[in-house]
């Protein structure tokens, strides 16, 4: 009875769609979850509800995600819901632990090979073996191609054909890349090391080729949840199928409109085709957005509403649930330095006004755009952090710390608690708690190492549960070796610890995150979409990138671009995905005053029309005329509408023009709904400009005031310039 009461509490506060997801029957379930719609709450509540009602055992659940942060959030929420024992891991972490556990059996007693924390060094050597001199940037590009191939289950001998079929932009001639790929594989084998894709393949091989391993793994894990299912690649899907072993108790969660990682091998096809592959699947759509204001949600809907292609079949129209907030701002600048300086100045105003720096983000298409904003924020005195593994994990102090942590596994006793072990190891590179320098580079160094310490504390809070058999499982604390593997995984996946400051991030690395205030910058053709987006599918992925960026904002959103890269440079066009916002009011128009141009300040500011009912951003012309969303309730005065129609027909007949030339149906509807009583209220309705105000303004105001069409003086009704 108590158990069922706890299960009922899990359902409390869920919206109808979330409740449907939670209570869906056992078997294949597909949750299409839009940005900010509470997907984590839905999936953790589903796991908890099934466990608390006795339908499943928590220890038989494996929930896989794409980031350690998301996995930790799942575990935390399940604990709050009163459910212990669920394994929530990334694909890599889950596979690594299984391979490590079964290694003695799979490798005839030999230890598991060392796991590479980065492909770059070995790729550089492999390139030299085949006659290529690859600098660090080229080696990273080659490593990315190898990672794509291995994630796509492509072997070196198949690479040339597969790359051509996938329209890959290869760093070298495809045959040369294939040679580097083959040399890379030979070097790994010769040195007894493996990479993360090898580790996933080993997990698949262990299950597919060893019945005893398959029996034990499948006995332990019987119910599966896969988050961000639109981002799985063929190798990860094969591992999932190996875990399932023909069973179908799997819940997948995803949003096809957030498919932005196809360049890594990820594909939304598994999400799109899920109902077809599982004929009895339950499909639930979560569309209530609890993250962003209706204004932000409206803009996001307008951008993704024009999407085409396979992913668009699962497009979700979000409905904002938060109170109305400020309108999104579109700003145009003379050049990129002016844009960066304006963004930095606004960030400073936000911080001084009480917005925490960590709740502000500046998002751009490519990492190369970061430098201008780093410089501008530094000059404005605003702290910032660059999101992305290269900046954090490539820092000298972080690399030294990782070396010290690996060395400490040989000198610090294995039973030492992880937080203690990490602090002892970092003391060797000069880090000490409560000894932060006053500022500058020394302060940045201290904070970077402090971020590792905090990460260790968080990681230590999650014990590992290993499958032992049908009746039992063993829980053990995580070790320093485990933590080193976690850091290697994070470095490979560009997953950086949180440090305070305004976040500078590419749109790709911003996925899964959210902030109170978001600046989307550099929104010009050639940058977004990038010039490398040549096929319709690639262009649509660029559209989805902008959509992801918009939906990161909770409250305040700024969109901007520079008319030229540098002062006096060649003019550029705005991003094609930006809706045709109303530019009729506020700010200075393009080609404004000389002083403004010299100062490099904004040249035009967009006015966004809001729904007077729900506050959502209105972008379509008819909606802006009405002043409301088409789905919001109308408060039209039907009698006034009919009088306006009658009046319009008489005017059109006298002028010998179609009725819509006088006023469109949408304008008449807006007049009958909003019932303007003064000239200022009349001209506020889109579609009524100075000319129509002069021709028809007095007549319309008289009709709104209650006059009959026959009572209006003929000169007011039919006055035309001759």
Judge residue 248's burial from the number of C-beta atoms within 10 Å of its C-beta, 0-12 exposed, 13-18 middle, 19 or more buried.
middle
Q: How far lies 709's CA from each of 648, 695, 700, in Å?
A: 10, 16, 10
Please tell me the distance from the alpha carbon of residue 268 to that of residue 230, in angstroms, as a whole number.
4
SS3 83: coil
Angle at Cα 400 formed by Cα 394 and Cα 403, nearest 5°? 110
Confirm if 357 and 502 have CB atoms less than 8 A apart.
yes
pLDDT tens track for 152-163? 999 999 999 999
pLDDT at 486 over 70: yes
| 711/715 Cα distance (integer angstroms) | 12
**Model pLDDT for residues 395-409, shown as the tens digit of each residue:** 778 888 988 999 888
The pLDDT of residue 230 is above 90: yes
Cis peptide before 529 (omega within 30 of 0): yes
Is pLDDT above 90 for 431? no
Helix (H, G, I), strand (E, B) or coil at 644: helix
Tell me 358's DSSP state. Answer: G
Q: Which residues pair with 617 in a beta bridge?
A: 610
Taking the C-alpha atoms of residue 256 and residue 232, their distance in angstroms, rounded to an integer, is 12
| Adjacent-strand bridge partners of 361 | 503, 518
1, pLDDT greater than 50 = no
461: which residues sit within 8 A by CB, 6+ positions away? Answer: none
Residue range 479-489: mean pLDDT, rounded: 84
Measured CA to CA, the distance from residue 575 to residue 558 in angstroms comes to: 14
The yes-or-no verdict on residue 586 having pLDDT over 60 is no
Instruction: Give residues with Cβ within 8 angstroms of 134, minimum separation 6.
Output: 123, 124, 127, 128, 142
pLDDT of residue 4: 59
* pLDDT at residue 602, as a whole number: 44
Neighbours of 79 (CB within 10 A): 14
Share of the chain above pLDDT 70, in %: 86
- Say how many C-beta atoms besides its own lie within 10 A of residue 467's C-beta: 22
Lowest mean pLDDT among 35-39, 87-91, 449-453: 449-453
Assess contact for 716 and 698: CB atoms under 8 A: yes
Higher-confidence position of 428 and 321: 321
Whole-angstrom distance, CA of residue 68 vs CA of residue 461? 13
| Cα–Cα distance measured from residue 490 to residue 595, given in angstroms and rounded to the nearest whole number | 48
Predicted pLDDT at 585:
32
Beta bridge partners of 285: 32
User: 273-289 burial by CB neighbour count: b if 16+ within 10 A, else e?
Assistant: ebeeebeebbbbbbebb
CA distances from 626 to 32, 170, 666 (A): 31, 50, 6
- According to the model, what pLDDT value does residue 616 have? 55
pLDDT tens for 598-623 read: 334 444 444 556 666 655 555 556 66
Q: Which two tokens stand for residue 600?
A: 């490099």
Least confident piece of the model among 199-203, 386-390, 506-510, 545-549 = 386-390
From 66, 98, 101, 116, select the one nearest 203 (Cα to Cα).
98
Residue 594 has pLDDT above 60, yes or no: no
pLDDT computed for residue 720 by the predictor = 43
What integer pLDDT is reported at residue 389 of this predicted model? 42
Distance, C-alpha 337 to centroid of its chain? 27
Share of the chain above pLDDT 90, in %: 48
Which residues does residue 394 pair with via DSSP β-bridges, in sequence order? none
Classified as helix, coil or strand, 430 is coil
Residues in a beta bridge with 149: none
Rounded-to-integer distance, Cα 217 and Cα 205, Å: 13
pLDDT for position 719: 46
pLDDT at position 521 is 96
Cα–Cα distance for residue pair 465/97, rounded to 1 Å: 10
Task: Say how many C-beta atoms besides its own lie within 10 A of residue 353's C-beta.
Answer: 7
* 470 confidence band (pLDDT: 50, 70, 90): very low
Q: Return the ∠ at Cα 98 (arms to 93 and 103), rounded to 5°.
A: 125
Say how far residue 57 (Cα) sits from the centre of its chain: 32
CA triplet 398, 402, 408: central angle to 5 degrees? 140
Spatial neighbors of 468 by CB under 8 A, at least 6 apart, are: 474
- Give the pLDDT score at 572: 86
Average pLDDT over residues 685-714: 85
Question: Which range is least confidently modeled, 224-238, 355-369, 464-478, 590-604?
Answer: 590-604
The length of the chain, given as a count of residues:
722
pLDDT category of residue 471 using cuts at 50, 70 and 90: very low
Q: What is the pLDDT of residue 597?
A: 36
Per the prediction, the chain carries an average pLDDT of: 85
Place of tokens 């579109």: 330
3-state secondary structure 94-134: HHHHHHHHHHHHHCCCCCCCEECCCCHHHHHHHHHHCCCCC
Calpha distance 170→177 (Å, rounded): 8
Please state, in angstroms and rounded to a whole number, the distance separating the CA atoms of residues 75 and 343. Answer: 37
Condensed to tens digits (0 to 9), the pLDDT of residues 5-50 reads 888 888 988 999 999 999 999 999 999 999 999 999 999 999 999 9
526 DSSP assignment: B
Q: Which of 517, 583, 580, 508 is nearest to 547 (CA)?
A: 508
Closest alpha carbon to 299 in 564, 518, 525: 518
pLDDT value at 437 more than 80 = no
Distances in Å between the Cα of 648 and the Cα atoms of 130, 643, 664, 671 are 79, 9, 10, 12
Residues 122, 126: Cα–Cα separation, whole Å? 6
C-alpha 403/C-alpha 29 separation (Å) is 44
Read off the pLDDT band of 229 (50, 70, 90). very high
Overall average pLDDT of the 578-600 stretch: 40
pLDDT reading at 220 higher than 60: yes
Which residues face 286 on adjacent strands?
33
Buried b / exposed e over 568-604, threshold 16 CB at 10 Å, is eeeebebbebbbebbbeeebeeeeeeeeeeeebbbbb
């Amino acid at each position: 009875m108590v158990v069922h009461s706890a299960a009922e509490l899990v359902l409390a506060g869920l919206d109808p769609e979330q409740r449907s997801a939670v209570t869906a029957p056992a078997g294949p379930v597909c949750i299409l979850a839009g940005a900010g719609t509470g997907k984590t709450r839905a999936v953790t509540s589903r796991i908890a509800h099934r466990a608390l009602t006795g339908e499943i055992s928590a220890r038989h659940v494996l929930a896989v995600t794409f980031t350690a942060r998301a996995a930790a959030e799942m575990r935390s929420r399940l604990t709050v819901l009163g459910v212990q024992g669920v394994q929530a891991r990334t694909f890599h972490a889950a596979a690594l632990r299984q391979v490590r556990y079964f290694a003695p059996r799979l490798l005839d007693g030999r230890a598991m090979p060392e796991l590479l924390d980065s492909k770059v060094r070995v790729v550089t050597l492999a390139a030299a073996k085949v006659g290529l001199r690859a600098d660090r940037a080229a080696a990273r590009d080659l490593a990315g191609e190898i990672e794509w191939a291995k994630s796509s289950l492509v072997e070196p001998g198949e690479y040339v054909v597969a790359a051509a079929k996938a329209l890959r932009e290869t760093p070298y001639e495809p045959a040369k890349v294939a040679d580097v790929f083959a040399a890379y594989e030979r070097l790994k084998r010769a040195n007894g090391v493996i990479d993360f894709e090898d580790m996933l393949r080993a997990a698949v091989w262990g299950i597919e080729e060893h019945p005893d391993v398959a029996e034990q793994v499948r006995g332990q894990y019987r119910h599966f949840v896969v988050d961000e299912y639109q981002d799985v690649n063929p190798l990860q899907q094969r591992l999932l199928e190996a875990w399932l072993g023909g069973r179908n108790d799997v819940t997948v969660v995803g949003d096809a409109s957030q498919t932005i990682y196809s360049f890594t091998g990820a594909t939304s096809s598994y999400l799109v085709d899920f109902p077809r592959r599982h004929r009895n699947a339950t499909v639930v759509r979560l569309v209530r957005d609890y993250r962003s204001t209706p204004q932000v949600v409206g803009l996001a809907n307008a951008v993704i509403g024009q999407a085409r292609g396979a992913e668009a079949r699962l497009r979700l129209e979000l409905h904002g649930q938060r109170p109305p907030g400020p309108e999104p701002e579109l700003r145009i600048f003379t050049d990129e330095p002016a844009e960066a300086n304006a963004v930095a100045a606004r960030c400073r105003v936000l911080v001084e006004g009480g917005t925490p720096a960590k709740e502000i983000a500046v998002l751009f298409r490519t990492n190369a755009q970061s430098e201008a904003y780093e410089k501008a924020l530094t000059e404005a005195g605003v702290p910032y952090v660059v999101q992305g593994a290269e900046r954090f994990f490539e820092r000298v102090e972080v690399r030294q710390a990782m070396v010290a942590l690996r060395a400490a596994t040989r000198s610090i006793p294995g039973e030492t608690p992880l937080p203690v072990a990490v602090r002892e190891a970092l003391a060797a590179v000069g880090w000490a708690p409560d000894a932060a320098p006053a500022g500058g580079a020394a302060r940045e160094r201290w904070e970077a190492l402090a971020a590792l310490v905090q990460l260790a504390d968080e990681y230590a809070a999650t014990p590992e549960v290993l499958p032992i058999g049908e009746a039992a499982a063993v829980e053990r604390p995580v070790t320093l070796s485990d933590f080193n593997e976690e850091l290697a995984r994070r470095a490979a996946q560009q997953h950086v610890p949180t440090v305070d400051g305004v976040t500078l991030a590419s749109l790709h690395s911003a996925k899964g995150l959210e902030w109170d205030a978001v600046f989307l910058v550099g929104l010009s053709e050639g940058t977004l979409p990038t010039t490398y987006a040549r096929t319709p599918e690639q262009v649509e992925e660029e559209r989805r990138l902008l959509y992801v960026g918009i939906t990161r904002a909770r409250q305040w959103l700024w969109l901007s671009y520079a008319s030229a890269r540098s002062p006096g440079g060649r003019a550029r066009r705005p991003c094609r995905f930006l809706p045709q916002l109303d530019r009729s009011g506020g700010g200075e128009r393009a080609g404004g005053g000389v002083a403004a141009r010299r100062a490099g300040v904004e040249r035009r500011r967009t006015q966004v029309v809001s729904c007077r009912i729900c506050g959502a951003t209105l972008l379509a012309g008819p909606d802006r005329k009405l002043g409301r969303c088409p789905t919001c309730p109308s408060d039209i005065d039907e009698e006034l509408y009919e009088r306006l129609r009658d009046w319009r027909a008489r005017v059109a007949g006298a002028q010998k023009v179609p009725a819509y030339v006088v006023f469109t149906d949408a304008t008449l509807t807006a007049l009958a709904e909003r019932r303007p009583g003064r000239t200022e209220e009349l001209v506020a309705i889109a579609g009524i400009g100075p000319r129509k105000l002069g021709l028809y303004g007095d007549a319309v105001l008289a009709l709104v005031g209650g006059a009959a069409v026959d009572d209006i003086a003929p000169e007011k009704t039919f006055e035309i310039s001759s």
